[in-house]
Structure 1
Amino acid sequence: MFSRCGESGPVLTRPEPTAAAEAPPAREVSLPEIHRSVVVPNAGGWLRRLLAFVGPGYLVAVGYMDPGNWATALAGGSAFGYTLLSVALVSSLMAMLLQALCARVGIATGRDLAQLCRERFPRPVNAVLWVLAEVAICATDLAELIGTAIALQLLFGIPLLLGVVLTAADALLILWLQNRGVRWLEALIAGLIFLVFGCFAVQLFMAQPVWSEVFAGYIPSASIVTDQTQLYIAIGILGATVMPHNLYLHTALVQSRAYGLDVPAKREAIRFASVDSTVALCLALTVNSAILITAAAVFHAGGRTEVAEIGEAYELLAPMVGSAAAATLFAVALLFCGLNATVTATIAGQAVMEGFLGLRLPPVLRRLVTRLVAIVPAIIVTWFYGESGTAQLLILSQVILSLQLPFAVVPLMLFASDRARLGALTAPRWQLALGWATTAVVVMLNLKLLWDFALGE
């Protein structure tokens, strides 16, 4: 329709933009500092291309082994032995499925979960989802900051409140690492995860659990639903494993890879990103199981069925295992987990704030804002409670996360099921069916908990 004549014949052209029809603004991207910053090679074998996608899964997996997980695993293992291992297993399988769907949605749409919510839902709904996401991040950071501060206190004698403040300095670490490139950040996180794994491998050798009872613990028991105390801790484990902010985080992180934009390239990217997150979450399951198994083998078997405080567990490990190294490894692993988790929670806070609100702030200011949103509640809680009752606070924070889960999982499933938007990249029917079943289980467990609480049972 608009044409000019040239030497090669008529050529279609576009009209120049007028004052009434200006050029549209540049497309908003997730985590702009790292967006499409990792090159995906076109040549070479599949292993080389797979390795280009390895990394985001480990940043996501960190949230599944943070100090909040420690509190719920310690409480569950000391009180009920190996029974709640089945909850850790089922929760991890749920997380693997949901994170695979996160990778699919992020890659297929080129948007993160928070951006999709802002674009697709009415403004009041979007505002509620944003507030709930921020509450989840505050609950996550409360557990991570306090857990890391406890580790600093156990290892170096640093007061708890000062430890919380020192831990907040991770924002500077993130800025430095991201300036070096996202691969540096991923390498640090993965390295610390493997160090944690090594610490617990040694601890399990020292604890000498009864392995036949361990394997039996992975079989679900009806008492988990009928016993309110077990259910409370089980929901805490669920919230600590299938964390709401990790769903927002993964949909943003997968876009750090410069994969092709055609359907075959995106399909391959989805497959490799799913492998990355699944392998990383298997490692997280191993660490979470190790914490619970250690608590069951040492405390429950030793008659100490009410150990929930991390500090108390540290003090009891050495005399009950018969080696001071067990307690030291316990505290070192806690420190590594806490540092890892605070780093990724800060990045998740950035993705949530930018995605829901469309904010674009300088990197330093953005880090300070997202860190302050989470650290202020942690400082207030630490100021009032001090060293007493930290286990109850950590477990409560994980239950809060579980209560927030439906408000992240339901939008994720709606977008993953949107065939009009995803087209050929829509999730398979079996994956969608399992995803919606997971959503129903999460909602029903939360309703059961609220019902019991309302009845005072």
Structure 2
Amino acid sequence: MSSDDVTSNLTEVSKPWKRENSNPSLQEVHKSVPIKKTGSFFRRLLGFIGPGYLVAVGYMDPGNWATSIAGGSAYGYTLLSVILISNLMAILLQSLSAKLGIVSGRDLAQACRDHFSKPVSFVLWILCELAIAACDLAEVIGAAIALNLLFHIPLVYGVCLTAFDILLVLLLQNKGFRYIEAFVIALIATIALCFGFELLLSKPEIGGIVSGFIPSSTIVSNPEMLYIALGILGATVMPHNLYLHSSIVQTRKYDDTVEGKRSAIKYATIDSTVALMLALFVNAAILILSAAAFHTTGHKDVAEIQDAYHLLDPLLGTGVAGILFGVALLASGQNSTLTGTLAGQIVMEGFLNIRLKPWLRRLITRMIAIIPAVIVTIIYGEKGTGELLILSQVILSLQLSFAVIPLVMFTSDKNKMGSFVNKKWVKWLAWLVTAIIVLLNAYLLWRTFF
């Protein structure tokens, strides 16, 4: 390729952003992972595998467990269709997030800072920080509950112990980004294996599972079922994941040309789609396990994670069922804290253009989550942690629209995306998904508070 061709390629994807993006997203690991530019399809894909699994973690965090357990115990397999639809929406939005990062060289936070005025960017940053703190809160509580169930560590001490994962994050970051990805994938595999084994123990109805993936009119006609369905939808797509994905795809050392970026988008989309399908399996497995173990045995009011843990052993007839459930919960909580650290760093650097030491940024986020968790645990005990878990999901739902709307807006703007702008059908589908998310979250918030 001649120098003129390269210049033409770069011009084609240049964007009329207001300012130069002088600081790359996650600068310490930016384009640090080499990729194969020749060889077989799978050989080239291998270099892009990783970011999608960090994103998928947010779709199977402890905050999602309560809604899936409640839905399965109360309504059997019916709400599996809601989990499937939520996952398809997530696949679309995460592919747009990856495309924005690869094409623009900006993460979503940097793009917002560039496009919007300073007051608007500041408000978006505050909302995003609240969402990350809420998500971290869910993970703190989830990990503390797992420690309590497995090792009988009091919830208050378990909440405090979660602060020490800062050391693990720092260790992995110092070794390289691939180590973080490998650790996350290992924990996801642990969660999937635990639930896979529990599904075998629970012996679910195959016919019920198949019919559950087909949308039913009763979901809309039954107000209580609709509320749980909205909870599943509202808590599935995590706002901080959109910021996270647009940044971590830039850890790959792809060419800054039209072809290089087009190839990167293709492999990054495959990576996130496969990873999110694994998240679909985990979320569906939680609901299927709840339906098979609780709904069919008459336990239709199980909504708390602790109740599910204590009931699994006697209902499935083995002492290992509860242990596997607890191990999966602990892996889920620990996994999510890693991605929460990165998301916090990305939004602070992106919106404010300031950098803090990773350990300091992690400590700030952790304290924001730990302090309310400790206070509620001391005053209200287990019941309070369950309600705090629900509140964290409401806060996430409130923030989601403020992340999705800019994402769809930027990727649908030809001036910003050039030849990579969303095709018409993708654009209208993305806006339809956005409208559904906004309306459902508004209704969920209204139901929660009024």
How would you bin the TM-score normalised by the shorter chain?
over 0.9
- How has the CA–CA distance of structure 1 residues 124 and 363 changed in structure 2, closer, same or farther, with 3 Å as cutoff? same
User: Counterpart in 2 of 1:19?
Assistant: none
Q: Which residue of the other structure, out of 398, 402, 425, is the alignment partner of 1:430? A: 425
Q: Which residue of the other structure, out of 395, 400, 415, is the alignment partner of 1:400? A: 395
- How has the CA–CA distance of structure 1 residues 452 and 155 changed in structure 2, closer, same or farther, with 3 Å as cutoff? closer
User: Counterpart in 2 of 1:109?
Assistant: 104
1:382 aligns with 2:373: no
Deviations, residues 108-158 of structure 1 (Å, cap 9, x unaligned): 000000111111111222122111111211221111110111101111111
1:227 aligns with 2:215: no
- Offset at residue 450 of structure 1 (A): 4.4
Q: Which residue of the other structure, out of 191, 195, 210, is the alignment partner of 1:200? A: 195
- How has the CA–CA distance of structure 1 residues 333 and 150 changed in structure 2, closer, same or farther, with 3 Å as cutoff? same
Q: Which residue of the other structure, out of 245, 249, 267, is the alignment partner of 2:244? A: 249
Query: In structure 2, what is the Cα distance between the partners aligned to 1:400 and 1:78?
Result: 25
User: Counterpart in 1 of 2:366?
Assistant: 371
- How has the CA–CA distance of structure 1 residues 226 and 403 changed in structure 2, closer, same or farther, with 3 Å as cutoff? farther
User: Counterpart in 2 of 1:419?
Assistant: 414
**What is the 5 A alignment of 1:241-280?**
241-280=236-275
Higher mean C-alpha deviation, range 394-403 or range 320-329: 394-403
Query: In structure 2, what is the Cα distance between the partners aligned to 1:451 and 1:391?
Result: 20
Query: In structure 2, what is the Cα distance between the partners aligned to 1:380 and 1:107?
Result: 42
Q: Which residue of the other structure, out of 142, 150, 155, is the alignment partner of 2:150? A: 155
Deviations, residues 285-312 of structure 1 (Å, cap 9, x unaligned): 0000000000011111111111111111
Q: Which amino acid aligns with 1:120?
A: H
Deviations, residues 11-58 of structure 1 (Å, cap 9, x unaligned): xxxxxxxxxxxxx99811111221111012223233222111000000
User: Counterpart in 2 of 1:339?
Assistant: 334
**What is the 5 A alignment of 1:90-109?**
90-109=85-104
Unaligned runs of 5+ in 1: 1-23
Query: In structure 2, what is the Cα distance between the partners aligned to 1:108 and 1:406?
Result: 23
User: Counterpart in 2 of 1:308?
Assistant: 303
User: Counterpart in 2 of 1:81?
Assistant: 76
User: Counterpart in 1 of 2:205?
Assistant: 210
Question: In 2, are the aligned partners of 1:238 and 1:402 still within 8 Å (CA)?
Answer: no
- Offset at residue 248 of structure 1 (A): 0.7
Question: In 2, are the aligned partners of 1:237 and 1:398 still within 8 Å (CA)?
Answer: no
Q: Which amino acid aligns with 2:112?
A: C
Question: In 2, are the aligned partners of 1:67 and 1:337 still within 8 Å (CA)?
Answer: yes
Question: In 2, are the aligned partners of 1:231 and 1:449 still within 8 Å (CA)?
Answer: no
Question: In 1, are the aligned partners of 2:238 and 2:396 still within 8 Å (CA)?
Answer: yes
User: Counterpart in 1 of 2:322?
Assistant: 327
Given the two structures, how large is their TM-score scaled by the length of structure 2? 0.92
- How has the CA–CA distance of structure 1 residues 306 and 94 changed in structure 2, closer, same or farther, with 3 Å as cutoff? same
Query: In structure 1, what is the Cα distance between the partners aligned to 2:79 and 2:140?
Result: 25
Unaligned runs of 5+ in 2: 1-18
Query: In structure 2, what is the Cα distance between the partners aligned to 1:26 and 1:444?
Result: 34
Q: Which amino acid aligns with 1:363?
A: P
Name the count of aligned residue pairs. 432
Given the two structures, how large is their TM-score scaled by the length of structure 1? 0.91
- Offset at residue 261 of structure 1 (A): 0.3
Q: Which residue of the other structure, out of 443, 448, 457, is the alignment partner of 2:438? A: 443
Question: In 1, are the aligned partners of 2:109 and 2:350 still within 8 Å (CA)?
Answer: yes
**Rg (Cα) greater in structure:** 1
Q: Which amino acid aligns with 1:357?
A: L
Higher mean C-alpha deviation, range 262-271 or range 372-381: 372-381
Question: In 2, are the aligned partners of 1:72 and 1:236 still within 8 Å (CA)?
Answer: yes
- Offset at residue 346 of structure 1 (A): 1.6
1:60 aligns with 2:55: yes
Question: In 1, are the aligned partners of 2:394 and 2:445 still within 8 Å (CA)?
Answer: no
Query: In structure 2, what is the Cα distance between the partners aligned to 1:358 and 1:371?
Result: 21
Query: In structure 2, what is the Cα distance between the partners aligned to 1:436 and 1:26?
Result: 27
Question: In 2, are the aligned partners of 1:235 and 1:399 still within 8 Å (CA)?
Answer: no
User: Counterpart in 2 of 1:240?
Assistant: 235
Higher mean C-alpha deviation, range 150-159 or range 162-171: 162-171
Question: In 2, are the aligned partners of 1:141 and 1:378 still within 8 Å (CA)?
Answer: no
1:44 aligns with 2:30: no
Query: In structure 1, what is the Cα distance between the partners aligned to 2:409 and 2:144?
Result: 39
Query: In structure 2, what is the Cα distance between the partners aligned to 1:374 and 1:239?
Result: 21
Identity %: 58
